[in-house]
Structure 1
Amino acid sequence: MSVADETAPGRHRAAGSSAEAMVEVRGVTRTYGSGAGTVHALRDVSFDVAPGEMVAVVGRSGSGKTTLLNMVGGLDRPDAGTVRVDGTEVTTLGDAGLSRLRRETVSYIFQTFGLMPPLTAAENVGVPLRLRRTPVPEREERVALLLDLVGLREHAEQRPAELSGGQQQRVAIARALAGSPRLLIADEPTGQLDAETGVAIMALLRGVVESEGLTAVVATHDPVMMALADRVLTIADGRVEG
């Protein structure tokens, strides 16, 4: 199956064969419900994402973007097909393997931010490092570095309710980077933000992908994010269009 493959002006698309891909999706199909209520969320979807590449997945609401991201990140399983991330076949992993994948390889950014209200910005960013039992001095150094990276050094002790939507999403991005993932998955990360703040967050995502050497798959409807991506995959009615 061919894909809608648009290289953003002025950007070099990362080249690579299947053997070099960070993400390999092959023949993935996912159906929900049965009978008249059957929803074909994904239909025989195949594509690769090269290491260091930032790919935007675009499509109308209900087209299958979130389902596709959930497959790549191991949050859902396909009815047919395979997904490999950094050489690991995600579709065959058990609960322990999936937990390890999310702890060591994949991080997520959602449009709802998902911060813990009682914790400060610094404490929220440090959660993944606490789960990995990172020594306190190393954890504090990493948290400070990431808050500086996302421009929130002066807001480290503030709680989510004291931050704007854009600032909360910056904290969420810093938290996603805390465990040094190799793959970043973002589902409509600017969906709850105003246009100006959204542009700033998208530019920040592009910057951290490059500075941290990440691979990223971002579901979006925003043309600015499409322009910032290395490639755009268009999905409609569960199919990746060519």
Structure 2
Amino acid sequence: MSDAAPEEAGTSPEQRPEPMVVVEGLHRTYGGGATAVHALRGVSFTVPRGRLTAVRGRSGSGKTTLLNLVGGLDTPDDGTVTVDGTALADLTGEQLLELRRDRVGFVFQGFGLLPVLTAAENVGVPLRLRRAPTAEREERVALLLSLVGLADHAAQRPGELSGGQQQRVALARALANRPRLLLADEPTGQLDADTGLAVMELLRAVVRSEGVTALVATHDEALLGLADEVLELTDGRVRQGREPLPGAGTLAL
């Protein structure tokens, strides 16, 4: 099974960059006995650097569990997760917090914006947490709001923005600390089809412009064609193979 990005002409295996994410033999079960839920059953794959990889699967297939494990928000029962060359199992609780703060950005279906803060203030929250200088914070916030097309909405609060605009603010916030890995869990799940497509196109553009690696969970077939690779989960297992998917490119696992 090969899950690396397609090899470029003239690039030897020694010259290819180390994958951003390496998952090996991942198992996660919730509960026990007859009611146990086997969310993941021996999942293994890699995510190439600088690419947008979609995790495809129906509700309950294990997508959210997988992203939580990759982001260090949960611990596997068995198996390993390596992010940016760092094995998560080797980290202390404080080191995991630092990794999530400095190297991983999160975008959730529910936006997760603070309603009392403006769009600019929401984007600036991660920078405040690491006590970035005011001038640096304001410059970065202005750049990111411009990047997601919301420069004219900086002073508005979430309740004054549409769902698509709120998700754009959430994306800008996730990029505030210049993460190397962006994890997005059903980022278009609460949006209509056209707005969801626009957000996914923006996410792809951000991957290119910011040099970020993105792992995006979605069940929306229309969005898969925007991904560089598609990984499919079915009942907690990886679907292996390289056959084309409807509306998408090659299945690379």
Same fold, TM exceeding 0.5? Answer: yes
Give the corresponding residue for 1:219: 217
Letter in 1 for 2:174: A
Tell me how far apart the structure 1 counterparts of residues 7 and 115 of structure 2 sit (CA, whole Å): 39
Give the corresponding residue for 1:209: 207
Within 5 Å, give how 1:1-242 maps onto structure 2.
Answer: 2=1, 13=6, 20-242=18-240
Tell me how far apart the structure 1 counterparts of residues 156 and 215 of structure 2 sit (CA, whole Å): 30
Letter in 1 for 2:110: T
What are structure 2's unaligned runs of at least 5 residues?
A: 241-253
Tell me how far apart the structure 2 counterparts of residues 136 and 182 of structure 1 sit (CA, whole Å): 23
Indicate conservation of the 8 Å contact 1:13/1:230, yes or no: no
- Structure 1 runs of 4+ aligned residues shifted over 3 Å read 12-19
Tell me how far apart the structure 2 counterparts of residues 62 and 74 of structure 1 sit (CA, whole Å): 20
Q: Which moved more, 1:152-161 or 1:19-28?
A: 19-28
- Offset at residue 222 of structure 1 (A): 1.5
Letter in 2 for 1:192: Q
- Offset at residue 50 of structure 1 (A): 1.1
- RMSD over aligned Cα, in angstroms? 1.8
Deviations 1:24-74 (A, max 9, x none): 001010111111111111011100111101100011110100000111000
Number of residue pairs matched?
235
Letter in 1 for 2:72: G
Q: Secondary structure of the equivalent of 1:20? A: coil
Indicate conservation of the 8 Å contact 2:29/2:40, yes or no: yes
Tell me how far apart the structure 2 counterparts of residues 231 and 60 of structure 1 sit (CA, whole Å): 17
Indicate conservation of the 8 Å contact 1:206/1:228, yes or no: yes
Letter in 1 for 2:80: T
- Offset at residue 93 of structure 1 (A): 1.9
- Offset at residue 225 of structure 1 (A): 2.2
Tell me how far apart the structure 2 counterparts of residues 210 and 105 of structure 1 sit (CA, whole Å): 17
Q: Scaled by the length of structure 2, what TM-score is found?
A: 0.89
Letter in 1 for 2:94: A
Indicate conservation of the 8 Å contact 2:17/2:49, yes or no: no
Letter in 2 for 1:49: V
Larger RCO (CA under 8 A, 6+ residues apart) = 1
- Offset at residue 224 of structure 1 (A): 3.0
Tell me how far apart the structure 1 counterparts of residues 137 and 22 of structure 2 sit (CA, whole Å): 32
Tell me how far apart the structure 1 counterparts of residues 17 and 82 of structure 2 sit (CA, whole Å): 11
What are structure 1's unaligned runs of at least 5 residues?
A: none
Letter in 2 for 1:98: L
Tell me how far apart the structure 2 counterparts of residues 58 and 13 of structure 1 sit (CA, whole Å): 20
Indicate conservation of the 8 Å contact 1:27/1:81, yes or no: yes
Tell me how far apart the structure 1 counterparts of residues 53 and 6 of structure 2 sit (CA, whole Å): 10
